[in-house]
Amino acid sequence: MAIKDWPKDEQPREKLLARGPAALSDAELLALFMGTGCKGLDVMENARLLLKEHGPLRLLLDMSAQKLRKLPGLGPARACKLVAALELADRHLRAKLDLGEGMCDPKTAMRYFKQRLRGRPHEVFAVMFLNTRNHMLAFEELFNGTIDAAAVYPREVARRALFHNAAAVIIGHNHPSGSAEPSAADRDITRHLEKALPLVGVRLLDHVVVGEGTPVSMAERGWLEPTLSFRG
């Protein structure tokens, strides 16, 4: 059955307009983007096939335009539009922070670090530098590691914080293995930075670990000193 023959309130476009994009499944969102299917498949069947064979959604959307263009129902034009749409979403989030939206809670930081670090094949340690009102001054990837480790030097983090005249930082890194659960080494480096950074007048607000699914915030788990929280 073609989508146009579905009950009106179950058609993806009408559902989105009535209930918002969060009400749509991954397949419905993908089908709405694609518009039409390919030979022998309607657009919903095509979307479900793509997710079944190349998903879940995050893995599918992490593909390059060169890979996406070879998938059934996409092709060069749709692949380029899909990659462009994802880049627009990334730039929208970055622009909000660049224009002075403060880091008011761990979830904002978790969303930002996830967009910047997810899908990396090796471990990357990054730092967000903030002013006294928790507005972002800069974001830097300071250390790169292998598949399971990155050497982190507190002195370099402090040096870059002083360079940016930062009052606070949020640190984050990814786990290419997929698990966002912090390791003992992750907690150790957090404790080292928690002690070292205040010596140069810089607060550590959070350490975010990015893997598959929802990132982990050490601040949200209560693993950082309360005096070094998201309070300005």
> Over the stretch 163-190, which tens digit does the pLDDT of each residue have?
999 999 999 999 998 899 999 999 999 9
pLDDT score at 87: 85
Spatial distance between the Cα atoms of 195 and 158, rounded to a whole number of angstroms: 11
Map out the domains of the chain as residue ranges: 3-93, 101-228
* Residue in the block written with tokens 């915030």: 217
pLDDT score at 227: 47
Q: Which residue type, as a one-letter code, is found at position 91?
A: R
* Residue in the block written with tokens 């390059």: 64
Spatial distance between the Cα atoms of 86 and 78, rounded to a whole number of angstroms: 12
Radius of gyration of the chain (CA): 21
Confidence of residue 213 (pLDDT cuts 50, 70, 90): confident
CB 85 within 8 A of CB 33: yes
CATH superfamily of 101-228: Cytidine Deaminase, domain 2 (3.40.140.10)
For residue 228, is pLDDT > 60?
A: no
Cis peptide before 12 (omega within 30 of 0): no
Confidence of residue 61 (pLDDT cuts 50, 70, 90): confident
pLDDT digits (tens, 9 = 90+) for 32-54: 999 888 888 889 999 999 999 99
For residue 104, is pLDDT > 80?
A: no
Spatial distance between the Cα atoms of 79 and 222, rounded to a whole number of angstroms: 42
pLDDT score at 40: 84
Tokens standing for 29?
Answer: 């969102």
% of the chain exceeding 90 in pLDDT? 55
Spatial distance between the Cα atoms of 160 and 174, rounded to a whole number of angstroms: 20
* Residue in the block written with tokens 């003992």: 184
For residue 216, is pLDDT > 90?
A: yes
Spatial distance between the Cα atoms of 170 and 176, rounded to a whole number of angstroms: 20
Highest mean pLDDT among 5-9, 105-109, 191-195: 191-195
Give the pTM. 0.71
Tokens standing for 121?
Answer: 């094949």
Spatial distance between the Cα atoms of 218 and 136, rounded to a whole number of angstroms: 19
Confidence of residue 120 (pLDDT cuts 50, 70, 90): confident
Sheet containing strand 216-217, edge to edge, reads 136-144, 124-130, 168-174, 203-210, 216-217
Spatial distance between the Cα atoms of 189 and 105, rounded to a whole number of angstroms: 22
